[in-house]
Amino acid sequence: MQTKNSETLYERAKKVLVGGVDSPVRAFGSVGGKPIFIKKAKGSKIFDVDDNEYVDYVCSWGAVILGHADEDVLDAVSEAVKNGTSFGFTNPYEVELAETVSKRVKSAEMVRFVNSGTEAAMTSLRLARGYTGKKKVIKFIGNYHGHFDPFLVKSGSGLATYSISSSDGITEGCISDTILSDYNDAESVINLSKIFKDDLAAIIVEPVAGNMGVIKPDLSFLKTLREVCDRLGCVLIFDEVITGFRVSYGGAQELFGVLPDLTLLGKIVGGGFPLAAVAGKKEIMKKLSPLGSVYQAGTLAGNPVATAAGLATLKKLTRDQYDKLEDYGKRLEEGINKILDQSKLETIVNRVGSMFSLFFNTSKVKKYSDIKSSKTFPKFFWKMIENKIFIPPSQYESLFFTLSHDKDDLEKTLEAFKSAVNVLNHE
Ligand SMILES: Cc1ncc(COP(=O)(O)O)c(C=O)c1O
């Protein structure tokens, strides 16, 4: 495997980009070694600057679902860009994309487009607080909602209710209104709701966890969140930045039949461009400016190129396409499990549609504390890279595949997986 160009670029990047990157996971910190720099991607393949070709299971961290550089998306983008890159005023693509989102996502009566998942999460919390007049938010350990201050928390002093910041630069005041609970722990949410009943503005959750590996929710857990929010009059926020348009046609809320008050969308909704959204009940959404008193704005929000790309993507994502994704996922999961059965590793695969992850040294993962950190993951990662399969350089990230992944990719992946598992077997 050639690495010369990546190494040269990394040396240059380190001098001008902090850590040589613009987002920490790209630094390959948790697998060691030097980061790989990418120059292009097409379909299911990604190519590094040394011309190595990989089957891609990062897929822009889930933003790409049709396959890289899909021809219809490229056409839509070229058409849009001919008329200008940004107007700072509302454009036709934006309206049509909002209509499309609203038709597909059952709880999305109104939509506000923003530029990133972080911004969507930030807006939703301010909106929930403005709507309820309350301030506290319940968040689940191991769920990620971007890097807005109140969400950068971890549990402190052994008590789930007490949170401390997981980053410097965050004030205690900001963190003190975030209450932590374990994922899939309905009882803990009920207890917390009793303690904080007069102060609770929102519960925010990834309806399928995708940032501590992939963890399926218990249906009873999601239903409990709905019941608690109904009882207390607080806002249930589903962070569907990953799951929206990925786990089903209408997102996780369609898959599980539990509707939130607000939904956060990102990644797929922008067809690979910087676009995200807050969507939800009219009554709550109308609190946003200019109709309501909760301020929110954005120079590039609803940008014509990004909304055109999102629209072209959603047009191609018809219901039958999800059967195709499921079919690939099933074969992949079965193939991996067969290899694992013949190994001495205690490793499981968690999969929901086209997102999945491997958990090492464990048999069941329902919440963050069930996850065992694997010392051998870096070795596994580099072996997969050597075999030209690109998986996320972190044990805690979900793997994704697209409609472009085919039988040939599947075979290559399973072969690579077998050889990587063999390496771990001999550890
Ligand atoms: C569930 C979830 N919410 C929010 C975000 C933040 O989105 P962004 O990186 O676009 O700010 C992410 C990012 O991966 C995410 O996975």
* Residue 360 · residue 378 · CB < 8 Å: no
Fold match, 4-65+319-425 / 71-316:
no
**Which atom of ligand 1 is least distant from the CA of 121?**
4
144 lines ligand 1 (CB under 6 A): yes
**Which atom of ligand 1 is least distant from the CA of 276?**
10
At 160, the pLDDT band (50, 70, 90 cuts) reads very low
Q: Give the residue extent of every domain in the chain.
A: 4-65+319-425, 71-316
Longest dimension (CA), the chain: 63
Query: In whole angstroms, what is the distance from residue 422 CA to residue 417 CA?
Result: 8
Contacts of residue 131, Cβ cutoff 8 Å, sequence gap at least 6:
201, 235, 284, 287, 294
Query: Active site includes 239?
Result: yes
pTM beyond 0.95, yes or no: yes
| Residue 396: per-residue pLDDT | 92
Tell me which of 3.30.1370.140, 3.40.50.300, 3.10.129.10, 3.40.640.10 is the CATH number of domain 71-316: 3.40.640.10
| Residue 156: per-residue pLDDT | 61
In this predicted structure, the answer to whether residue 162 has a pLDDT above a threshold of 70 is no
* Residue 304 · residue 83 · CB < 8 Å: yes
Task: Using only the alpha carbons of the chain, give its radius of gyration.
Answer: 21
- Which one of 10, 144, 322, 396 is the catalytic residue? 144
Q: How many CB atoms lie within 10 A of CB 91?
A: 20
In this predicted structure, the answer to whether residue 11 has a pLDDT above a threshold of 70 is yes
* Residue 287 · residue 79 · CB < 8 Å: no
Which parts of 261-400 are beta strand (E)?
Answer: 262-265, 276-280, 347-352, 355-360, 389-390, 399-400
Q: How far is the CA of 61 from the centre of ligand 1 (A)?
A: 9
Helices (H), 51-91: 71-82
Q: Nearest 5 degrees, angle CA 173-CA 160-CA 154?
A: 55
70 lines ligand 1 (CB under 6 A): no
**Per-residue pLDDT reduced to its tens digit, 217-275:** 999 999 999 999 999 999 999 999 999 999 999 999 999 999 999 999 999 999 999 99
Tokens 């001495």 correspond to what residue?
Answer: 344
Summarize the confidence of residues 138-145 as an average pLDDT. 96
Query: In whole angstroms, what is the distance from residue 424 CA to residue 76 CA?
Result: 45
Query: In whole angstroms, what is the distance from residue 108 CA to residue 229 CA?
Result: 17
Summarize the confidence of residues 339-367 as an average pLDDT. 92
Query: In whole angstroms, what is the distance from residue 128 CA to residue 201 CA?
Result: 6
In this predicted structure, the answer to whether residue 344 has a pLDDT above a threshold of 90 is no
The fourth-level CATH superfamily of domain 4-65+319-425 is Aspartate Aminotransferase, domain 1 (3.90.1150.10)
Supply the residue whose CA is at minimum distance from atom 16 of ligand 1: 242
